[in-house]
Amino acid sequence: MIEIKDLKKAYNGVVVVNVPSLVIKKGESVGLVGNNGAGKTTLFRAILDLIRADAGEVLSNGENVAGHENWKNYTASYLDEGFLIDYLTPEEYFYFIGGLHQQSRAHVDDFLLGLGDFF
């Protein structure tokens, strides 16, 4: 279960996330709909501990996500396509994804070389 309590995030004095309370129960799927700049991605990044909120907390199974990484073993997400691409080279991105699946850099390199047969 994911629980959000009094979560707030502001940029340049403008509050972009203000969630007093939200509970996402085990097995539920959640998506957000809103205009560009409404804070959807910022909220998900805070839930995933990719950015720190200015106030409040995100709990996963009762533990603050900012306090440990155990929640990463049972949590999955997909953010917009620019989520990592903006920050990583293509090679770094493939190594990152491979690492999520406990694959070594050598294994990722071999896999990518094998893809050349299809193109």
Is the model's pLDDT at 79 over the cut of 70?
A: no
pLDDT in tens, 97-113: 888 888 999 999 998 88
Half-sphere exposure (CA, 13 Å, Cβ side) for 24? 15
Q: What is the mean pLDDT of the chain?
A: 85
Return the number of other C-beta atoms located less than 10 Å from residue 2's C-beta: 18
What is this structure's pTM?
0.64
Q: What is the predicted pLDDT for the residue at 24?
A: 92
Q: How far, CA to CA in Å, does 17 sit from each of 52, 75, 104? A: 12, 21, 37
What structural domains and CATH numbers belong to the chain? 1-79 (3.40.50.300), 81-119 (no CATH)
List the one residue out of 38, 45, 46, 31 whose CA is nearest residue 82: 45
Structure tokens at 16: 């972009």
pLDDT in tens, 12-52: 999 999 999 999 998 888 878 888 888 888 998 899 888 89
Structure tokens at 6: 């009094």
Alpha helical stretches, state H, the chain: 40-47, 82-85, 90-100, 105-115
